[in-house]
Amino acid sequence: MAVQGKRLFLEEVMVVAPWVWQLSIGLITLVILGDLIYQIRKPHEPTFKESAIQSVIYIGLALLFTFLVTEVWGARFGGEYLAGFITEKSLSVDNLFVFLVIFTKFAVPRRLQSQALLIGIVLALILRGIFIAAGAAAIEQFSWVFYIFGFFLLYTAALLIWDTLKAGSHDEKVPGGKATAFIKRHFPTVDEYHGAKLTIVQNGKRFITPLMLVMIAIGMTDLLFALDSIPAVYGLTNEPYIVFMANAFALMGLRQLYFLLSGLMERLKYLGVGLAIILAWIGVKLVIHAMHKNELPFINGGEHITVIPEISTELSLAVILTTLVVTTIWSLAVTRKDPKQKA
């Protein structure tokens, strides 16, 4: 369906009409609002069956969107979206470990965790939207931004491998700990949860509930995750629309995935190693791309460096899928033999 002239797809650039952006954002907003209203009116812990069905629906919609992108804009952009979605979904699963640490630290009741996750997803979408816009503007003006993105992902990958192998699991330090500690020191707080309320009034004085502190911790976590998430997907595509939709579909259904995988998360011992490999691969891809677009005068005299060929999206997709499968099987096999992990 790619059409010359007034078409949406051009050879090198994916042209997305404003109404497509508006429709996409509108539909995503409606889905999240509907889910949020449902959780506020009926806060509960989703059952395994409920989480499984909703997860299948969300992932199914995300995969169907691949065919839509391919049909409208072409196979190249369809492949870029699919690689971006799988990468973002994988990083989102890793994020669930940190959410689990936060909920454990603050002793959040299971029935309130669902609502906290949903609000965290809303915050993540807003923050990532800002980062996507900033990243697109930077890439448009400065090709050397790819160097920064690439080396940052390599640095993040090294830290992730170190943390995973050193601790054997995720760090128990809660993101936003300093912020929540500051609030507890300077504002009146209570230790007990009062349903879904973020603040309560007692004896004419307003107090902050633990749920508010949990929201702050999740917000800080979302900010940290956006720093490596956005450069990672920009390593697979330069198209802001693909970056946004890959992030949106990865985040939608994250709440259901948390309850679906909560019993398995401790067994995914080496998922961090797999994600580190993926981030490192994309980091190398970004650096090579930056070399091909090089304009920095102190590198090769400002000339392009094309000695190393660019890495294709198809090869990246194969590496991402293989890495995830191998590290997941590795983790489950190792923890199956470990009596401590079986519990």
- Residue range 213-240: average pLDDT? 83
In contact, 316 and 83? CB cutoff 8 Å? yes
Q: Within 13 Å, how many C-alpha atoms sit on residue 226's CB side?
A: 24
pLDDT for res 99: 81
Tens of pLDDT, residues 151-210: 998 998 888 888 777 654 454 555 566 777 788 888 888 888 887 788 898 888 898 888
- Evaluate whether residue 5 is within a structural domain: no
Is residue 151 included in any domain, yes or no? yes
Give domain status of residue 91, yes or no.
yes
**Phi then psi for 206, rounded to 5 degrees?**
-90, 135
Pick the residue with more confidence: 304 or 227? 304
Summary count for the chain: helices (H), strands (E): 12, 2
Average pLDDT, the chain: 82
Domain of 299 in residue numbering reads as 18-342
Q: What is the pLDDT of residues 8-20, one digit of tens each?
A: 333 467 889 999 9
Cβ–Cβ contacts within 10 Å for residue 225, how many? Answer: 19
Q: With respect to residue 61, please indicate whether it lies within any of the assigned structural domains.
A: yes
3-state SS class at 202: strand
Task: Count the neighbouring beta carbons within 10 Å of the beta carbon of residue 51.
Answer: 21
Give how far Cα 136 sits from Cα of 75, 145, 282, Å: 22, 10, 17
Chain centroid offset of residue 269 CA: 19
d(CA 162, CA 152): 15
CA distance 231 to 156: 11
In a domain, 235, yes or no: yes
Beta bridge partners of 206: 201
* Single-letter code of the amino acid located at 278: I
Name the pLDDT band for 251 (thresholds 50, 70, 90).
confident
Residue range 64-113, pLDDT digits in tens? 999 999 999 999 999 999 999 999 888 887 777 778 778 888 888 877 88
Q: Is 92 left (phi over 0), alpha (psi -120 to 50) or beta?
A: alpha
238: helix, strand or coil = coil
In angstroms, the CA 197 to CA 169 distance is 32
Establish if 255 belongs to a structural domain. Answer: yes
Domain count, the chain: 1
Do the beta carbons of residue 135 and residue 234 sit within 8 Å?
yes
Q: What pLDDT does 19 receive?
A: 95
Determine which helix (DSSP H) or strand (DSSP E) holds 207, and give its type and residue range. strand 205-208
pLDDT at 9: 34
Phi, psi (rounded to 5 degrees) for 189: -130, 160
Distance CA 23, CA 265 (A): 35
| Residue 3 within a domain | no
Query: Do the Cβ atoms of 84 and 246 come closer than 8 Å?
Result: yes
* Assigned domain for 1 exists: no
Q: What is the DSSP string of 67-102?
A: HHHHHHH-HHHHHHHHHHHHHHHHHHHHHHHHHHHH
pTM above 0.85, yes or no: no
DSSP 263: T
pLDDT in tens, 48-71: 788 888 889 999 999 999 999 999
Q: Rounded CA gap, 126 and 145, in Å?
A: 22
